[in-house]
Amino acid sequence: MASGQKIPARMTAIAISEPGGPRVLKPETRDVPQPGPGEILIKVHAAGVNRPDVQQRKGAYPPPPGASDLPGLEVSGEVAALGDQISRWRIGDRVCALTPGGGYAEYVRVHAGSVLPLPAGFTHTEAAAVPENYFTVWHNVFERGGLKKGETLLVHGGSSGIGTTTIQLASAFGAYVITTAGSQEKCDACLKIGADRAINYREQDFVTAVKEVTEGRGANVILDMVGGDYVQRNYEAAAVEGRIVQIAVQAGAVASADFSKVMVKRLTHTGSTLRPRTVEFKAAIAAALEAQVWPLLGTRKVAPVMDMIYPLTDAWRAHERMEEGEHIGKIVLDVG
């Protein structure tokens, strides 16, 4: 293992003391992890907070085999040490990375294929808001959903980290973007970053609104994090040959739906989870992002929408903020 500046033996990390509410997130002292072959050790400056972290804290989303038990799926920082078989990265490189866990800590080990250079001009807190959402959106909207220029996209939860990322990327690649959100403030924020139409789902039925906006055609691609009764409503809102991509089921994993809509409209309903996928799979997404999206980040044609930044030791407050549901964009931990 090659290392640069002196790396301490121990570090501060935020652990889940037991399944439960935000207050179960407790600072602990842990051994600094050691990078294995094909891995790098990152000195973390900032870590993104995501819905899967909340689910893991509650005991509903266990880490995959071999991953850290600490929460945290994305970080930014500096390369502190290199495992064997690393050719691209050097000690001191400023990077951001998708992690299978362990991001809520001062150091994290990550497979090199999930690491990307800090986008030009980005701060570490901004860069920590990128990997999880951009990997997820790129794969699910553009690869699984096959969104093309000129098509109509409906994204639910437009003011979330996933939603704000989807709006910007879909707009940048020439799609017409419709989104749902739960307040006028959130709808206005979505319109400001590139949505063509924002529907307050508390005041208007999104199926009716989508049909009105598209003159009855419906949405070509729908990105859904809700599940539950949205499944049937998505079928109603979809265009013929529409593609519905499921990435979460916040309203429930079980739904009753009229599957004749799938046949009549020739719909595709697919979905995915990112965390348990192979390092090779994630490396392929990273390569696509660096080629297709990093230039847009470098010119700020797209950029993470930042909500709140909390110190690492106040991770519980970040989780409270997320669960309150009032955030617009990304919540990030400042690790230092």
If one counts every other C-beta atom within 10 angstroms of the C-beta of residue 186, the result is 23
| CA 81, 86, 92, 93 torsion-angle sign | negative
Indicate if 22 and 121 belong to the same structural domain: yes
Exposed/middle/buried for 259, CB within 10 Å: 0-12, 13-18, 19+?
A: exposed
What CATH number corresponds to the domain at position 259?
3.40.50.720
Indicate if 267 and 152 belong to the same structural domain: yes
What is the pLDDT confidence band of residue 2, given thresholds at 50, 70 and 90? low
168: in domain: yes
4: in domain: no
Structure token pair of residue 279: 């390092």
What CATH number corresponds to the domain at position 324?
3.90.180.10
Full residue range of the structural domain in which residue 240 is found? 145-271
Distance of CA 229 to the CA centre of its chain: 23
* Mean pLDDT across 313-328: 97
pLDDT at 4 (0 to 100): 60
pLDDT at 200 (0 to 100): 98
Indicate if 109 and 26 belong to the same structural domain: yes
* Contact assessment for residue 220 and residue 211, using Cβ atoms and an 8 Å cutoff: no
136: in domain: no
pLDDT at 319 (0 to 100): 98
pLDDT at 218 (0 to 100): 98
pLDDT at 293 (0 to 100): 98
pLDDT at 268 (0 to 100): 98
Which of these three, 271, 291, 324, is where a domain ends? Answer: 271
pLDDT at 230 over 70: yes
Indicate if 125 and 227 belong to the same structural domain: no
Which of these three, 253, 271, 289, is where a domain ends? Answer: 271
The average confidence (pLDDT) of the chain is: 96
pLDDT in tens, 110-160: 999 999 999 999 999 999 999 999 999 999 999 999 999 999 999 999 999
Q: Residue 22: name the closest of 57, 61, 47 by CA.
A: 57
pLDDT at 288 (0 to 100): 98
Indicate if 80 and 21 belong to the same structural domain: yes
pLDDT in tens, 7-45: 999 999 999 999 999 999 999 999 999 999 999 999 999
Which of these three, 271, 294, 317, is where a domain ends? Answer: 271
pLDDT at 77 over 90: yes
140: in domain: no
2: in domain: no
What is the pLDDT confidence band of residue 6, given thresholds at 50, 70 and 90? confident
* Extended beta strands in 22-85, E state: 25-31, 39-49, 74-82
Indicate if 45 and 161 belong to the same structural domain: no
Residues whose CB falls within 8 Å of the CB of residue 116, separated by 6 or more in sequence, listed in order: 95, 96, 97, 131, 286, 289, 290, 294
What is the pLDDT confidence band of residue 1, given thresholds at 50, 70 and 90? low
**One-character DSSP codes across 67-111:** S-SS--SEEEEEEEEE-TT--S--TT-EEEEE-SS--SBSEEEEE
pLDDT at 198 over 80: yes
Indicate if 244 and 264 belong to the same structural domain: yes
The C-alpha torsion from 297 through 303 and 308 to 310, rounded to 10°, is -10
Indicate if 105 and 20 belong to the same structural domain: yes
What is the pLDDT confidence band of residue 274, given thresholds at 50, 70 and 90? very high
Total structural domains within the chain:
2
138: in domain: no
pLDDT at 43 (0 to 100): 98
